[in-house]
Structure 1
Amino acid sequence: MKNIYSCVCLLLLFSCSKLENYNGVVSTDKSKPGIVTDIKVINFNGGAYITYSLPSSANILYVLADYKVNGTLSRQTKSSYYSDTIVVNGFADSKEYEVTLHVVSRANVMSDAVVAKVYPDTPVYKMIFPTVNVTPDFGGVNIKALNKFKQPVGIILVETDPVTNRYEIRDQYYTKSDTINYSVRGMDTLPKNFGIYIQDQWGNISDTLKQTLSPIFETQLDKNKFFVDKLATDAKIGYGWELPYMWDGNTDGSSTGWHTLPGSTFPITATFGLGVSAKLSRFALWQRTGQYTYSHGNPRDFTIWGSEKDNPADVQLPVTSAQGDMAGDWINMGNYHYPDPPSGARPGAVTDEDIAFAEAGVNFNIPLANPRVKFIRFAVADTWSGGDFAHVIEITFWGNPY
């Protein structure tokens, strides 16, 4: 379980900030500095704040804390002489630990040791573990968990190797999100022995949740069977960017896609048939890129509506609704927000990183609770420019059409 590769990846992704450079000017004063006094401790999840009073000396450089976080692994933390607080973190359990404090002079002379006792609250990785839920999903498994403190953690999925009969890492997912919900796909439908554990940024590892699950069958829907089913409330199309370009297989962000005329009423809607009755699992969306990335008519917020009727009737769809709501023959299969630019740049001032992200296409899950459907209405509630028109380069659906 304590896979070295996993630890290295986590530490690289969540590396601690560099300690301040305490070298300073070397002092010729070799006298031993005094000790810290008036020690107070404030515990938090997995760590503690230790406050103190410094000895009166102009030759102090920093305070050094030495402590063991899991019985064997030692850590050190430094705090500048400008501060009266040092933070100790990364403890594996909620129990008493000893922290040894030294005052260090500019001549690199240490004071006598002073021991502070801390009793961290339950570490975050241990708080997350009981919330982990793993269920079968289309082409794999879905993993949910809660990370209420929004701390960086790794969710490690392992699977029994059929040859060695030992757990091997299948997927590693790193996040600070408070609500963890993602799927690992690309699997067949045979039963598999899975394990999942949580790892924090200091390499602490939780227990392992073990389950035997069978992924649900999934395949990409055949776009050759898609067809236009224009309804009266659908947006008017312009510039020769007809609806079939939305599923022609061309994901180049500079190519032709679906494009409506300005003046459209929200939600800006397009309707098409799948050519089959399918239990949908997910879809991928490609936006118009280049100078239009995260701008112009690219969808920002949108809803996928579906119908299992043979000839679903037209209806003016609401701009806002909840997943599962009905509007005539149509059911809201999910409300979606296209992810914000990964770089954090504002829309309209995106980076090469943002463009590459958009060009790769973005995957969205469709909740399992939805029924099989034969028709789709793609309804745009807002665009990245806020304009009254919309465009999409390509959309691809996966699910079970059998």
Structure 2
Amino acid sequence: MKKINNGRSRVSMLYISALLVVFLISCKKGQSNIEIVSNDKTKPGVVTNIKVENLNGSARITYTLPDSKNLLYVLATYNINDKVVRQTKASYYTDTVMVDGFAKAKEYTVTLNAVSRANIMSDAVTVKVNPKIPNYLLINDNLAITPDFGGANFYGFNPNKTPVAIHILSYNDATKGYDEQDPQYLSNDTVNISVRGFSVKNTKFAVFTTDRFGNVSDTVTKELTPLFETQLDKSKFFTFHLTTDSPIGYGWELKYLFDNNLGDPGWHTTSAPLKICSFGIGPLAKISRVVLYNRLPDIWGYQNSRQFTIWGSTKDNPGDYPSWPATVTVVGTVLGDWVNLGNFVVPLPPSGAPPNQATDADKATAGANGFSFNMPNVSQMPAVKYIRFQCTQTWAGLDYVNAKELTLFGAPVQ
């Protein structure tokens, strides 16, 4: 037995030694592949055949790399305004470097250096770039500021989908200064921001835009009168059943969705392909915003709505639509007597906690205040008499849904 054990030990030691050799060889090969330090102090050649493509607030510079085996990257150095100097690196695997963050549409000088693995720079080569109007200015200068329900709407385009922050301010008569709303960060192609809670009187609004490079636009101001907005009278709401409406269970009838009571019961469906209900709101009204109250305690869980759509109808007795879609449709989509007024996504817990770990404070806030959503494109949408609430996704992906209360704001037309 002892002999066998010693033999096994010797075999094991030889096996381990072989593995160590392979490991060391592998490490050595890996290190040589990523080594960026070199003892070769040869100055690399310069980039040549330089071409410039001017873009909004940026420029794309292409070139021919020098024939230097020790080349690591090309360094572009440039001022983006009177104070800030930026540097952008492009590896030797590419022949292009992007220079961006320029504050204005004017001529700038960019210095290009080829840099070796020993951190030796080539002679400098300079090139002139003339970026077009930067995106943050392009956006801010073309924002339309118009009256909106209870405030103002700021609408425009971000054609290059550039990350920017929109800063909206309103004049405070009491403090004789401007109050700033929380900045709105966006990178989509459209700016459509509404601020609410203002009286129907002349109010000065202002807006400026910033980008990720610290550039700040001029402030654009406009005085306007917000449109009248009020909470629609729920005593005039009434149930209106259509064939595609979801079956209701557990005694949580549709009427409890708009009874001004945040306690139990609410509206609750049973399993069905669609999670949808319909009701009348009384007088014809423009809908400006909606407030949804999910069911406690799992506001961000189970059969509570995660995504939903609000549909509206102008008809006195709107008909059903035989093949109602279960998924989200584009705002403005018309299905028979119904038009998509808006698609909405319930925000995550304000604490930043995961949905299934929402804090007590998260639940208390959302339980008391609900989730408020501004209706998009209000000016383009018709005044309606009937509403369809459609949950397109619950937090748990279930085929049934519940809600405690739905509150609508807007302006009655009659």
Q: TM class by shorter-chain length?
A: 0.7 to 0.9
Once residues 369 and 122 of structure 1 are traced to their aligned partners in structure 2, the CA distance between those partners, rounded to angstroms, is: 30
Amino acid corresponding to residue 316 of structure 1 in structure 2: D
1:113-124 matches, cutoff 5 A: 113-124=124-135
Residue of structure 2 equivalent to 1:339: 345
Once residues 163 and 345 of structure 2 are traced to their aligned partners in structure 1, the CA distance between those partners, rounded to angstroms, is: 19
Once residues 76 and 348 of structure 2 are traced to their aligned partners in structure 1, the CA distance between those partners, rounded to angstroms, is: 37
1:89 Cα deviation after fit = 0.6
Indicate whether 1:316 and 2:316 are aligned: no
Residue of structure 1 equivalent to 2:311: 304
Residue of structure 1 equivalent to 2:137: 126
Distance change >3 Å, CA 217–CA 106, structure 1 → 2: same
Residue of structure 1 equivalent to 2:239: 229
1:174-253 matches, cutoff 5 A: 174-221=185-232, 223=234, 225=235, 228-231=238-241, 233=243, 235-248=246-259
Distance change >3 Å, CA 166–CA 229, structure 1 → 2: closer
After TM superposition, the score normalised by the length of structure 1 is 0.72
Match of 1:75 among 58, 74, 86: 86
Residue of structure 1 equivalent to 2:267: 258
Once residues 209 and 379 of structure 1 are traced to their aligned partners in structure 2, the CA distance between those partners, rounded to angstroms, is: 38
Residue of structure 1 equivalent to 2:288: 281
Secondary structure, counterpart of 1:131 in structure 2: coil
Once residues 35 and 173 of structure 1 are traced to their aligned partners in structure 2, the CA distance between those partners, rounded to angstroms, is: 44
1:226 Cα deviation after fit = 5.4
Residue of structure 1 equivalent to 2:278: 270
Once residues 278 and 135 of structure 2 are traced to their aligned partners in structure 1, the CA distance between those partners, rounded to angstroms, is: 45
Once residues 58 and 250 of structure 1 are traced to their aligned partners in structure 2, the CA distance between those partners, rounded to angstroms, is: 75
Distance change >3 Å, CA 157–CA 284, structure 1 → 2: same
Indicate whether 1:48 and 2:56 are aligned: no
Amino acid corresponding to residue 220 of structure 2 in structure 1: L
CA contact (8 A) 1:281 1:368 kept: no
CA contact (8 A) 1:125 1:200 kept: yes
1:258 Cα deviation after fit = 1.1
CA contact (8 A) 2:237 2:279 kept: no
Q: Give the stretch that moved more between structures: 27-36 or 383-392.
A: 383-392
Which 5+ residue runs of structure 1 have no aligned equivalent? Answer: 1-22, 344-350
Once residues 337 and 122 of structure 1 are traced to their aligned partners in structure 2, the CA distance between those partners, rounded to angstroms, is: 33
CA contact (8 A) 2:155 2:191 kept: yes
CA contact (8 A) 1:297 1:387 kept: no
CA contact (8 A) 2:275 2:401 kept: no
1:176 Cα deviation after fit = 0.9
Give aligned-pair identity as a percent. 39
Residue of structure 2 equivalent to 1:380: 390
CA contact (8 A) 1:135 1:141 kept: yes
Amino acid corresponding to residue 404 of structure 2 in structure 1: I
Match of 1:65 among 49, 54, 76: 76
Distance change >3 Å, CA 193–CA 340, structure 1 → 2: closer
Secondary structure, counterpart of 1:216 in structure 2: coil
Secondary structure, counterpart of 2:89 in structure 1: strand
Once residues 218 and 355 of structure 1 are traced to their aligned partners in structure 2, the CA distance between those partners, rounded to angstroms, is: 36
Distance change >3 Å, CA 31–CA 272, structure 1 → 2: same
Residue of structure 2 equivalent to 1:157: 168
Once residues 101 and 240 of structure 1 are traced to their aligned partners in structure 2, the CA distance between those partners, rounded to angstroms, is: 73
Which 5+ residue runs of structure 2 have no aligned equivalent? Answer: 1-33
Give the superposed CA RMSD.
4.1
Distance change >3 Å, CA 370–CA 104, structure 1 → 2: closer
Once residues 91 and 378 of structure 1 are traced to their aligned partners in structure 2, the CA distance between those partners, rounded to angstroms, is: 48
Once residues 55 and 326 of structure 1 are traced to their aligned partners in structure 2, the CA distance between those partners, rounded to angstroms, is: 62
1:296 Cα deviation after fit = 5.5
CA contact (8 A) 1:295 1:383 kept: no
